[in-house]
Structure 1
């Protein structure tokens, strides 16, 4: 056989060998699938936070319009109804404090998932006493009534503050009151202290001289969370990611224009501008995702603390209901 024959045979074998090597690589790297988007995107919000500013701006609608997404907004008076709406799939995104998702996971809301978070509370959440009170620490409150909303972030704050002082829940009297009831009880002297966040905290500081004795800055970090139904978060991570990114831009703009932000929130909530300015000046800004290990660990401490003091019926693992929006 000629030399040319063997050369042709060699080239054929080399081609086949290359085909065998290259083909599996192509098979393992198919064309990246395009993200999918829902026809409707339903957002739950409460008065007084950056979601309200985003809603008013119309920027999210503009951003999502090219993807054929219609944004709808639903107002909620407080966290628990929003949790229920997330669990039943009636809304697709909401913002709550640290404790509602813990209560949901331990109770009857298995569809709730963490998808993002805000910066930790600082001096904008505190245990306060009346201006003329002789109380200067939690130890001075032994045997006295402290107003706190049951199941709220303030309850966790109070429990950790007690632990820091070497005290137990039995050393004080928990007076479980909603915020409107708490203020009346505080001003009448029916309770010796009150666990309260901004803007109510700023309001009672300015109006009646209430004095913080412990703030969230001095305690383990506690975050607010964006939550979504499991099915929605798994199917449409792109729309959640876009929304949280847009909301972070909204917060940074608000941070850099406090006067305008305070005026807008005054109109939205009827809380005076000067109260909002005090609140906004000490607010921790920024929207983040996915949840970092430190944030998950901090939220796990909320869950463990609530279980330790028999506030939830079972121990839970926070990381099991986190969906990373990478």
Structure 2
């Protein structure tokens, strides 16, 4: 796992990363001992990871192993996975499309587990006084969105259902903060966005939902890791997965406590966070055949519309936990 290195070694490591996804560098910690670092990427919408960060659960569990946890916040999933591919972080969480775009760009990542997405946590919205009343009316209009985000896929699918494609609208590629400003000033006609940004604007302004995931097959959010990290540190990754699962079980039965905690961590009003949490469900599930099928559908949709440059094979990037590897090896050994 990654650690601070002397300047020369740092430069050499960065050079290696420019050529390929490198193995994790090490450096001397306190008293000349090796101190490993687990680097985690998260977003404002990464509810469980934000809770883990606040409660320091991972720090407590990994400290006896001499492992330090470092947290890195990103505006959206695409930026997070760029950092993962560059070797700046080890693991993270994103919606479904960022992983597809990253795979299509050659990122060497693996899917560690899935989290369900609720029908109302993403939407295409417009001001309440707009003349737009359905997705079909977006033809020729400007729509703000983060390219490669979960909202990107939502917009593609809702346009498809209305008999339109992205070429029929004017996409304005903006990260959430810039998109919020463009929406507020009327520079765009609509905005495709996810929670908690969605909950925030719904709490502060009069907006109209043109579409969400009602009537569409749901996608998943995913916990991803760089493949080199997963191969070198499977036990640490398994511990992270198990800790996320435990935290998810707590979160689903303590949403009031979670709202208070996240409000302080994210700098959002507690009422906004509560609105987001009320329509969400947390946890981590294995990469089942059905989960892989749905993610493959996301990849195939983007490929069919020419939004990614090549085919993506989701199944080839599914991580096998240590216990799965043991089970697979045992099965192969059977006569």
Same fold (TM over 0.5): yes
Residues in 1 aligned to 2:205 and 2:44: alpha-carbon distance in whole angstroms: 24
| Cα distance change on mapping 1:121 and 1:61 into 2, 3 Å | same
Task: Please list every run of 5 or more consecutive structure 1 residues that lacks an aligned counterpart in the other structure.
Answer: 1-37
Residues 267-301 of structure 1, C-alpha deviation per residue, up to 9 Å, x if partnerless? 11111110001000001322112x11111111112
2:296 equivalent to 1:300: yes
Secondary structure (helix, strand or coil) at the match of 1:216 reads: coil
Residues 212-260 of structure 1, C-alpha deviation per residue, up to 9 Å, x if partnerless? 1211233222211111121221233232222112112212212222222
| Cα distance change on mapping 1:65 and 1:126 into 2, 3 Å | same
Mark the structure with the bigger radius of gyration: 1
Matched residue pairs, number? 286
- The equivalent of 2:153 in structure 1 is 156
Residues in 2 aligned to 1:69 and 1:99: alpha-carbon distance in whole angstroms: 35
Residues 66-89 of structure 1, C-alpha deviation per residue, up to 9 Å, x if partnerless? 5x2513122132333432332244
| Cα distance change on mapping 1:46 and 1:142 into 2, 3 Å | closer
The Cα of 1:103 is off from its aligned counterpart by 1.6
- The equivalent of 2:271 in structure 1 is 274
Residues in 2 aligned to 1:100 and 1:157: alpha-carbon distance in whole angstroms: 13
2:259 equivalent to 1:262: yes
2:199 equivalent to 1:196: no
Structure 1 residue ranges (4+ consecutive) displaced by more than 6 angstroms after TM superposition: none
- The equivalent of 2:225 in structure 1 is 228
| Cα distance change on mapping 1:45 and 1:178 into 2, 3 Å | closer
The Cα of 1:178 is off from its aligned counterpart by 2.1
Query: 1:314 is matched with which residue: 310, 315, 334?
Result: 310
Task: Please list every run of 5 or more consecutive structure 2 residues that lacks an aligned counterpart in the other structure.
Answer: 1-34, 325-335
Q: Choose 273-282 or 41-50, whichever is displaced more.
A: 41-50
Contact (CA 8 Å) 1:43, 1:71: kept in 2 or not? no
Q: Choose 76-85 or 298-307, whichever is displaced more.
A: 76-85
Secondary structure (helix, strand or coil) at the match of 2:191 reads: strand
TM-score, with length taken from structure 2:
0.79
Residues 106-161 of structure 1, C-alpha deviation per residue, up to 9 Å, x if partnerless? 1142x211111111242010011111223221112222222111121111111111
- The equivalent of 1:136 in structure 2 is 133
TM-score, with length taken from structure 1:
0.81
| Cα distance change on mapping 1:64 and 1:217 into 2, 3 Å | farther
Residues in 2 aligned to 1:58 and 1:269: alpha-carbon distance in whole angstroms: 16
Residues 43-67 of structure 1, C-alpha deviation per residue, up to 9 Å, x if partnerless? 222345211211222322333455x
